[in-house]
Structure 1
Amino acid sequence: MMEPLTRSAPPEPEATAEELLRWVVEQSRLSVDEGIGLGGLAALVTEQEPWFTELMRSLLMRHRQMLAEAIRRHCDDGTVCADLDVETFLDCVVGAYFAEQARRGEVDEDWPARITRTLLPTFAA
């Protein structure tokens, strides 16, 4: 399930903002497609199974922490905008994925490129 996703290696320290953002987008997509799934998300949101909700939240938070730490390292080195609200930014990426799925019934294969292009001006220093 989600456990392998929490171990993905972040990009190299010298990665550009665009490379880092592409990685964040891909990791966010994988956390849904190969992790919790859309049904899992629905179960998480409705909280019908407390044990499932607790387990999924803990796995998602570890995965999200890995993404946030990578972004913050790049904020510190000047690659990523220093005043970026990292948590809200990650919400935007994941939210855009779910919005596309809800709107179209699927996520186009060009979605990673579109979301990267859209968010890069806010992300890059």
Structure 2
Amino acid sequence: MPTTKDGRGRPRLESVDQRIGAAALELLRTKGPAAVNIDSVAARSGVARTTIYRRYRGRDELMKATVDQLVDPPPLAPDLPVGEKLRWVLDGISDVLENGLGRGATAAVIADSDPDFTSALRARLAARLNAVTDLMNIDVRAGVLDASVDPDTLAGLLVGAYLAEVLRFGSPRDGWTDRAIELLTPAVTPHR
């Protein structure tokens, strides 16, 4: 069995770490961040509370580790055309909100019902979006994006557009991403 060692005690079983992480994510996705605590993760994962406490000092550390699992995208290729970069961002938003956070955690973030979780998630998302906006800034300087484009505003519009589609229809309609990209690409590229 694969193990990891943190310098203290016996080696840890990766399978136990995976069960803890999967249980925490499932609780987060289905019930929101308030449902993620040592007791509920122990019950869901079948891992003893003492074993979880050996890995995490408390709920805050457990939540940080859970948030760290959510936002880990593949890198964005800088030479993609503008439309494909927009698609990458929209696909990433969809992945985080639907497959990562789930509806329960997304609602908790919008309502800010767990400020510590919201802050941790915002910090993680900011790091991800900063990588995108840095590339957009390079594209503005290179003339690939229109000089008037503010990358932070564009990233916010993409997140907002996705959330609006979900709020209106329950999930993005077939072809919505393509239509959104077709609408936005001419608006953000230089007019020649």
TM-score, normalized by the shorter chain, greater than 0.5: yes
Q: Is the 8 A contact 2:71 2:124 kept in 1?
A: yes
After TM superposition, give the deviation of residue 33 of structure 1 in Å: 2.1
User: Relative contact order (alpha carbons < 8 A, sep ≥ 6): 1 or 2 greater?
Assistant: 1
| Paired residues for 1:18-97 under 5 Å | 18-97=83-162
After TM superposition, give the deviation of residue 95 of structure 1 in Å: 0.9
Look up the SS of the partner of 2:72 in the other structure: helix
Look up the SS of the partner of 1:4 in the other structure: coil
Unaligned residue ranges in structure 2 (runs of 5+): 1-68
| Paired residues for 1:111-122 under 5 Å | 111-122=176-187
After TM superposition, give the deviation of residue 54 of structure 1 in Å: 1.6
Q: Which runs of 4+ in 1 moved over 6 A?
A: none
1: distance between equivalents of 2:78 and 2:115? 38
1:4 is matched with: 72
- RMSD value, Cα: 1.7
Q: CA offsets per residue over residues 67-124 of structure 1, 9 Å max, x none?
A: 1112112112111112202111111111111111111112123121011011111111
Q: What amino acid does structure 2 have at the position aligned with 1:24?
A: V
Q: TM-score, normalised by structure 1?
A: 0.85
1: distance between equivalents of 2:99 and 2:133? 20
- Number of residue pairs aligned between Structure 1 and Structure 2: 122
Look up the SS of the partner of 1:80 in the other structure: coil
1:109 is matched with: 174
Of stretches 81-90 and 19-28 in structure 1, the one that deviates more from structure 2 is: 19-28
Of stretches 49-58 and 35-44 in structure 1, the one that deviates more from structure 2 is: 35-44
Larger Rg, first or second structure (1 or 2): 2
After TM superposition, give the deviation of residue 17 of structure 1 in Å: 1.9
> Taking every aligned residue pair, what percent have the same amino acid on both sides?
25
1: distance between equivalents of 2:98 and 2:108? 15
